[in-house]
Amino acid sequence: MTRLLKILKWIVIVVATIIIVGISYLRFSRFSDSMIYHVNGLEYSEFKSDFNHEEFYFDITEDTKIHAALFKPDSIPTIGTIFHFSGKGMHLMSVQKSYQPLLNKGFQIFCYERRDFGKSTGKAENSKTIQADALVMFDKIAALPNVKEKPILIWGQSLGGAFATMTANKRQDKIRGLFLEGTFSSFPDIGKEYARALHLENFKWVVPLVMNNDFPAEEEIKNINIPIVVAHSKIDKQVRYELGKKLYKNAPKNNSVFWDINGKHIRGIYNHENEYVNHFLKMIQ
């Protein structure tokens, strides 16, 4: 009996050691980072647009070139710049379709493609690197003469909401407002949602242990003192409504509003065009 207990004790020790080593490896190797940021099959050969625009390629490192564009109104004066952090699968060829209503009101819109996506190069495998890229892009565009002379707003959708909240928190002295749609409170929170979708809900406790939280939006939004709009659809099947509400609950209530919208994930500008645009207009008044 004593021998059996010893064997069971060693089995428990070995299993616990394997679990601890495995969790440590996943966390410190940043295994989840590449899963979050890497997008397969969404490259394209040539960038085209029917909108008035200026195209950019920013050299970040020897092997990293960030592709971006600044879309501009055609025949009316520019009233401000919207820095758009798009969702995971939204490159410049697809996302520009949503810009027409904002361009029609005089906004110019800047958007870039994250590393290893669209026509951008480099490796998208580290949250810290992706975070630094976001701030570099913002600083470069905010310094342009035709940008810094007018109000700057930040717009984040889905995954881009994490970048938008981080940037607004760190650069709020340079911006007038933050608009978030279909985004979430933190990466561990959205990781738990994927665990639920894969029927692994009993193991969702592991997610915060293996996933780095370099974009803690629910914490960063607490310190943002400019106008904030958090929009979310109750029937959003990609990012649950509750995660948008959780993010909003942490925002300062004297400068933030929650907007219930209808429709699929991040389709607000198509389903509620006038009200959507008016939220941006109010921020610069």
pTM of structure: 0.85
CA distance linking residue 132 with residue 61, whole number of Å? 12
Q: What is the pLDDT of residue 197?
A: 43
Q: In the chain, what are the domains?
A: 2-284 (3.40.50.1820)
Q: Across the chain, how many H-helices and E-strands are there? A: 13, 8
Averaged pLDDT, groups of 10, the chain, 285 residues long? 65 57 49 56 80 96 94 95 92 94 98 92 84 95 94 96 96 97 81 50 51 79 97 94 95 96 96 98 95
Return all residues near 131 (Cβ < 8 A) that are at least 6 apart: 163, 166, 214, 215
C-alpha distances in angstroms, 164 versus 5, 50, 67, 184, 271? 55, 26, 18, 11, 22
pLDDT of residue 89: 80
Residue with tokens 């069971």: 8
If one counts every other C-beta atom within 10 angstroms of the C-beta of residue 61, the result is: 11
Phi, psi of 47, deg, nearest 5: -85, 130
Q: Residue 238 and residue 232: Cα distance in Å, rounded?
A: 11
Instruction: Judge contact between 260 and 205, C-beta under 8 A.
Output: no
Nearest to residue 265, comparing CAs of 135, 89, 107? 89
CB within 8 Å of 245: residues ≥ 6 apart: 232, 258
Give the model's pLDDT for residue 190. 65
**Cβ–Cβ < 8 Å for 239, 190:** yes
41-94: per-residue pLDDT in tens? 567 778 999 999 999 999 998 899 999 999 999 989 999 999 999 988 889 999
